[in-house]
Structure 1
Amino acid sequence: MDTLPDNYADTDKVQPKTWKVINQLAFFAIAYGIIIRLAQYISNRSLWGDEAYIALNIVNRSYLELLQPLDYDQAAPPGFLWVEKLAVQLFGNNEYSLRLFPLIAGIVSLFALYQLGKWSLSAIALPIALILLACLKYPLYYATEVKQYSSDIMVGLLLCLLLIPLRDRILKKSKVFLLGFLGILAMWFSHTAIFSLGGVELACLITSSAQKRKAIVINRLPAYLILLIGFALYYFFIISKSMKNESLQSSWSPEYPKSIFDILWLLDSFGRFFHKPLGFAGIADGIAIFALVIGCIILYKNNQIKLLILISPILATLTATYLHKYPFRTRLILFLTPYFILIIAQGSAFILSQVNLAKFHQERRKKYVGIFGIIISFFLILPPVIEAGGFLFQPETKYEMRSVIAHIKANQQPGDVLFGDGGGTSAQLEYYAKKYGYSKSQYVVGYNDFLKKEAISDQVWSDYRRQFSQLQNQPRVWFLFSGIGLKEKRGEIVEPRLDRIGQKIDYFGQPGAFAYLYHLWLSF
C-alpha cells in the first residue's frame, strides 16, 4: 500500500535549518517515549486484578477456547489473545511475556503518529503531538499493561496510514481484496478497529472528487462486501457473546446517553475525556480543551478534508454510543487519544507561532498572543514530560502482590493456608499461587470484598463467618489484600475484623498490597 505524503500545511514557510531542528525534536520525543516505556516494562510490576484475570484466561485456555466468552467478566479481541498466548508459549508464563505485545504496540504507535502528523499538521505541531503521546499518563501506562488498549491505538493509527493514501484512487483488484482482508485482520486484533476503519473510509469517500466517487465505490465494492461479511461473522460469533455478559453491560450502562438529544451527556463526556483517558490534570485540562477548539478552527480553515478525516473515528464511536452499542468510557476509548492529540497540538502550535509573526510584523497584539501560546504550551507539555520522566527513576507500581506471596512462601510453615479477599485480590492470588508452587488446596479464593464493608451488621458478619468456615480447621492463615486506599483501611477496617476470628502473628506490606498471618481460634 502507498504511504502518506509529507505535505505540511506550512512547509514553504519553514526554513531548512528550522525544519531540521523540528525533525530532531520529533525524533527526540519518540526516543523519550520509547525509553520511558522500556523503563516501565523492565520494572516488571506485579499483575493487578484485571491483568491477572486476562492472564488466567490466556494461560489456562487453548487457542480455540480463547474464541469463547472469557471468564472473570473479561472481553478482548481474539487476535490480541492469540498473540499473548504465543508470547507465553515462546517466552514463558511471566509478566514480561504478557506485556511484550502491548509494549511493541505502544512503540509502533509513536512512529505511526509521526507519519500521520507529517500529513495532517503544521511542522511545528508535529513534535508537540509526539511529546504528548509519548508522555501523557494513560497512553504511556497502557503501553505496559496486559490489556488490548495499547494495540487499539496502534491498529487505529495503522488503518489511517493505510486508508488515507488510497483516497480518491482507483485500485487494482489485488489491492481491493487485500484491503478487505486487512480490514478483517484489524478487527480481529481490535474491537475498536471498526470505528477507525469505517469512519476514515467514509470520510475519504465523502471528500473524494465528485466525478470519481461512484467509480471508487464500484471499484472497492468487493472489499466492502468482504468487510461487511467479515464484520457480521465477527460480531455474531465474538462480540455478541460478550455483550450478553450482564455484569459487563451493567458496568457500561452509565456511559450511554439517554437519547440523541442528550447534549449534557455529550459535553460532560468530552470534558471527562481530557482527564481520562487523555491524562491532562488540573489547569492543563481546560487549556487542552481550548487548544482543541483552536486546532479545529485552524484545520477547518486550512484543510477541511484533514479535519474530517481526523475526527471521523471520534464521530463513528459517538454514533455507536448513541445507539448504545459501545460505551464512551475511559480506557475503552483510549484509541481516540491520538486524534485529539493531533488537533490539540495544531491549536497549541498555531498560538505559539504568533511569536515569530509578532517579530516579523512588529504587532503588539500578536506579541501578546505569542506569549499566551508559550504559556499554553508550557502547561500542556511540561507537566506530562516531568511526570513521565519520573518513571525513569521510580516506575509506576499498582498492587504488588507478587512480592507479598514471595514473602509468604519464604516464611510459611507446613499447613499454612492463603486466603484472598474477593475481587482483584483473588485474581492475583489465583495467578501467582500456582507460579509459587501452591496447590489449590493451599489457598482459598474469597467471595465478598472484605475492604468495602464500612459497617458490619450481624447479617454481613454472618456471611463472613460462612466464608471463613472453610478455614476453621486451619490454625494459621495468611489473609491477602490489594486495592486502592489500603493504608487507611488496614488499621481501621482490616485488623479489627480479623481480630474477631484470631490472633495476629505477622504482617507484610508492599505498595497496594499486604498480608496478615493470623492464628485462628477454634470457634469464631
Structure 2
Amino acid sequence: MNNLSNKQNISDFLKYLTLLIIIFGIFIRLSQYVSNRALWGDEASLALNIVDRSYAELLQPLDRNQAAPPGFLWIEKLFTQLFGNNEYSLRLFPLISGIVSLIAFYKLGKWAVSAIALPIAIILFACLRYTLYYATELKQYSSDVMIALLLCLLLIPLQQQILNIRRILLIGILGAVAIWFSHPTIFVLAGLASGNLILTSNQQKKAILINRLPAYFLWLISFGSMYFLTIARVMQNNSLQNAWGDEYPNTIFDLLWLLDSFGRFFSRPLGFSTIFDGIAILAFVIGSVFFIKKKPNKFIILMSPVFATLAATYLHKYPFRGRLILFLAPFFILVIAEGIAFLLTSFNHSKHHKYFLIAGITLACLLIAPSLIRAGTFVFYPENKHEIRPVIEYIKTHQKPGDGIYIGDGGPADQFEYYAGKYGYSQSDYARGYLSELVDAEKFYEQGWQQFKNQSNQLKNKQRIWFVFPGLNKKKEPFVKLHLDRIGKKLDYFSQPGAFTYLYQMK
C-alpha cells in the first residue's frame, strides 16, 4: 500500500513539475518577445520583402537573398496588415509557434518517453538556446518545429490502421497544406510514412500502402506545385546556393561528413555549448541503446524524419546544418532525455546502482543547469543582437542639415532601411557601401573612398558624415576608427549592443 502511495506521489510530482516547466518556457518566450529587440540584418531583409510585396508577389523569389515558405510569408503579411508594420506583428507567428510547440512536444513526449524522462525533455526543449531564440525571431524555423510536432501528433496514432476515406482525405489535406508553410514538412511526412511501412507486418503492408495512397498523392501534388512555383526558382539564387554549398557530403559513402554533421548537430541547432555537446552525444547514445532494446518501434518513428532529411542531403537537395534542421531537435531531445532517465532509474536493477545514479545526476546537471540558468537570465536581461533603432534615433536627434549617412551594404543596410522610414529617412538620404572597405586594411585606401564619395549623390560635397555599423564585430571597431581617422576628424560617437555610429568631419 505504501509503495502504491509513493508511486502515486512521485507520479503527481512529475506531472506538476512538467506543468511548471511548460509555464516557465512560455513565460521566458513572452519575456523575450515583450523586450522587443530591434530586427537584425536577416530579419530586416525578410521584413522588407513581406512589407513591400503583395500576397501574389510573395510567391516570387524573394529579394535580399532571402527564402521562406509561402504560407509563412502570407501569415506574416496578414499580421502586419492587422496589427501594423512593427516587430511585435512580425514576431507574433514565431511566438505562437514556439508556445504551441511546447505543448505539442509535451504530448509527443508522453507517447515517446518514460515519466521520469518527460520533465527532463521539457526542460531541455524549453530552455535550450535555439529552440528558445527562434521562438521570437522573424524566421520560419520556429513554425518548422511546430508543424513537425503537430504532424507527429496527427499521424503517429494512426499507424498501421486502415482508415476510412474521411480520415484519408483529412491527413492528405492537412499534410498538403503544411507543405506550403514549412519547407522540411515533406521530410517529416515521408519519414513518418516510411517508418510506418517498415513497422507494418508483411501481410498488412500492401493494404496500408493502398489505403494511404490518396493522402500520399495529395502530399506529392502539393509538394510538386510548391517546388516548381517557388523552390526551383529559389535554387537559382547563386548566393543562397553558395552559402550552403559546403554543407553537403562529397559522395554517398562520405562517412566522415556524416560523423562531423552528427557532432555539429548537438551544438547547433540543439544548442549545447562546445563544452557540453560531447556529454549530450553520450546521453543520446545511451538513450538510443535504451530505445533500440526497449522501444525499437518508437525509436524508428522518432528518427524517421532524420533519416528522410539525410537522404535529401546526400542527394544535395537540403543542407543538414544549423537552423535549417531545427525541426529535428525535438526528436533528439527525447532520446537524450531517455538516456539520462535510464541512468537515473537503473539503480533499481543493477548491483552498480550507485555509479549509474551518480552518472545520471551528473549528466542531468551538466546538460540542464547551463540552459536553465541562461534561459532564466532572459527574464531580466533579454537577448539583443543589433540594436540599430536607438542609433538611428541618436543620429536623427543630433544630425545637422547637410550631414551625410553611410551604411554598409547587404543585411546591415537592410536593417537601416527597414527603420529609416519610421524616422523620416528615404533611400536618397543615405549611401550604401561595403563594410569591408572600412574594416579590411588591405581593401581600404583613401583614393578609393574619395572616388566612392564623389560618385555618391548622397555623400558628394558632404562635410560631415555619419558612419553607421550594425552587426559589426566589436573587435573590429578599432580598425574602423583607424581608417576613418585617415579621411576625417571624429566629432561624435554613439554605441548600442551590436551597433554603433561615428560622426566625422571630412578632410
Range into which the TM-score falls when normalised by the shorter chain:
over 0.9
Aligned counterparts of 1:130 and 1:484: Cα–Cα separation in 2: 35
Matches within 5 A, 1:260-299: 260-299=252-291
* Alignment check: 8 A CA contact 2:98 2:142 kept: yes
> 1:440-472: per-residue Cα shift (whole Å, max 9, x none)?
2211222453454143465xx544333322213
The unaligned stretches of length 5 or more in structure 1 are 1-11
Taking structure 1 as reference, are residues 445 and 14 closer, same or farther at Cα in structure 2, changes over 3 Å only?
Answer: farther
Residues 14, 302 of structure 1: alpha-carbon distance in 2 compared, 3 angstrom cutoff: farther
Percent identity among equivalent residues? 57
Task: State how far apart, in whole Å, the 2-side matches of 1:402 and 1:341 are.
Answer: 36
1:443 to 430, 440, 446: 430
Structure 2 residue aligned with 1:9: none
The one-letter code matched in structure 1 to 2:486 is R
Structure 1 counterpart of 2:487: 501
* In the alignment, structure 1 residue 373 sits paired with structure 2 residue 360: yes
Residue identity in the other structure for 2:451: R
Give 1:501-520 correspondences, 5 Å limit: 501-520=487-506
2:161 partner SS:
coil
Contact 2:285-2:339 at 8 Å conserved across structures? yes
Match runs of 1:396-435 below 5 Å: 396-435=383-422
Q: Which amino acid aligns with 2:212?
A: R
The superposition leaves residues 124-166 of structure 1 with CA deviations (integer Å, 9 ceiling, x where unpaired) of: 0000010001000111111111000111100111111111011
Query: Superposed, which structure 2 residues align to 1:6-405 within 5 Å?
Result: 15-355=7-347, 357=348, 363=351, 365-405=352-392
Change (3 A) 1:479 1:457: closer
Q: Is contact 2:437–2:444 with CA below 8 Å preserved after alignment?
A: no
Contact 2:177-2:222 at 8 Å conserved across structures = no
Q: Partner of 2:440 in structure 1?
A: 453
CA–CA distance in structure 2, aligned partners of residues 450 and 352 of structure 1: 56
Q: CA deviation at 1:110?
A: 0.6
| CA 1:332–1:454: 2 relative to 1, 3 Å | farther
C-alpha deviation, 1:41, in angstroms: 0.5
Distance in 2 between residues matched to 1:317 and 1:451, nearest whole Å? 41
Aligned partner of residue 515 in structure 1, secondary structure: strand
The answer as to 2:446 corresponding to 1:479 is no
Which stretches of structure 1, 4 residues or longer, exceed 6 Å deviation after superposition? none
* Matched-pair contact (CA < 8 Å) for 1:472–1:520: no
Pick closer, same or farther for the CA change 1:434–1:172 going to 2, 3 Å.
same
Q: Which amino acid aligns with 1:293?
A: V
Contact kept, 8 Å, 2:407 with 2:467, in 1: the verdict is: yes
- C-alpha displacement at 1:225, in angstroms? 1.2
Count, aligned residues: 501
Deviations 1:380-428 (A, max 9, x none): 1111000111111111110110110011111122232321122322111
2:469 match: secondary structure: strand
The whole-number CA distance in structure 2 between the counterparts of 1:94 and 1:479 is: 25
Aligned 8 A contact 2:69 2:180 in 1: yes
**TM-score, scaled relative to structure 2:** 0.96
Contact in 1 for aligned 2:438/2:484 (Cα 8 Å): no
For residues 508 and 318 of structure 1, the distance between their equivalents in structure 2, rounded to whole angstroms, comes to: 47
Residues in 2 aligned to 1:168 and 1:278: alpha-carbon distance in whole angstroms? 31
> Residue 3 of structure 1 corresponds to which residue in structure 2?
none
